[in-house]
């Protein structure tokens, strides 16, 4: 939370800290990164804030470190309390990731849906999610908080789950490549989950035509 004013360097610092720990212990350590919870305001339009940037940096660090995992918590926060009252959910998600990282339960679905590839096809952005992130499901009446970059600016996009590992977004006419963002708000409305009840993290992925 205290790094929101210098978020651009956070992934590098977090990775360096973990690598320093591993060097001091003389072995690779399992690390769970708790992606920041929902806090402050929900916005009508896509935003870029220190809070969203830190979440993105945590996402990048989890991808770069070889023995780290991400536990999303942005569905557990309160708009007026920087320390979420729901400690049980956050602790449970951290424990699931540690069971897989440290105790070798490889078949366990320990995290939320993680995007692995995206492409633009027939006026839509098609996002594929990792198999080990479980089968996709929607919480609520529709997917929300998906945005696409058009002419340098982000705008909300209609999204739907099209199979157990795929989300498809409708794009404005003529868009052949874009950046897709999900959950990019201080206090988002998480709707993309797996059937185990773990949300997808805040993420960003490039989608290009083929």
The CA distance from 119 to 10, in Å, is 28
Q: For 10-29, write each residue's pLDDT tens digit.
A: 999 999 999 999 999 999 99
Closest CA to 17 of 33, 6, 1: 33
Q: For 132-181, write each residue's pLDDT tens digit.
A: 999 999 999 999 999 999 999 999 999 999 999 999 999 999 999 999 99
HSE-up of 56 (CA within 13 Å, CB side)?
21
pTM of the model: 0.94
The CA distance from 34 to 58, in Å, is 8
CB 13 within 8 A of CB 57: no
The CA distance from 128 to 200, in Å, is 12
Using 50, 70 and 90 to split pLDDT, how confident is the model at 209? confident
The CA distance from 77 to 187, in Å, is 8
**Which tokens go with 184?**
């990019």
Closest CA to 203 of 150, 158, 167, 164: 167
Give the strand pairing for 115-121 and 203-209.
Answer: parallel
């Amino acid at each position: 939370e205290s790094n929101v004013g210098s978020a651009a360097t956070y992934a590098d610092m977090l990775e360096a800290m973990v690598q320093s720990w591993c060097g001091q212990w003389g072995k690779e350590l399992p690390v769970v990164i708790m992606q920041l919870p929902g806090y402050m305001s929900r916005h009508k339009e896509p935003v870029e804030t220190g809070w969203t940037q830190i979440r993105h940096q945590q996402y990048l660090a989890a991808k770069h470190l070889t023995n780290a995992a991400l536990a999303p918590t942005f569905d557990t926060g309160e708009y007026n309390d920087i320390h979420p009252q729901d400690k049980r959910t956050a602790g449970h998600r951290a424990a699931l990731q540690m069971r897989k990282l440290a105790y070798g339960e490889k078949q366990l679905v320990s995290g939320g849906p993680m995007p692995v590839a995206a492409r633009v096809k027939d006026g839509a952005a098609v996002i594929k999610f990792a198999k080990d992130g479980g089968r996709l499901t929607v919480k609520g009446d529709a997917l929300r908080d998906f945005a696409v970059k058009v002419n340098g600016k982000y705008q909300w996009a209609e999204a739907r789950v099209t199979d157990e590992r795929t989300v498809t977004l409708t794009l404005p006419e003529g868009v052949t490549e874009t950046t897709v963002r999900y959950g990019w708000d201080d206090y988002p409305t998480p709707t993309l989950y797996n059937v185990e009840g773990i949300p997808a993290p805040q993420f960003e992925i490039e989608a290009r035509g083929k």
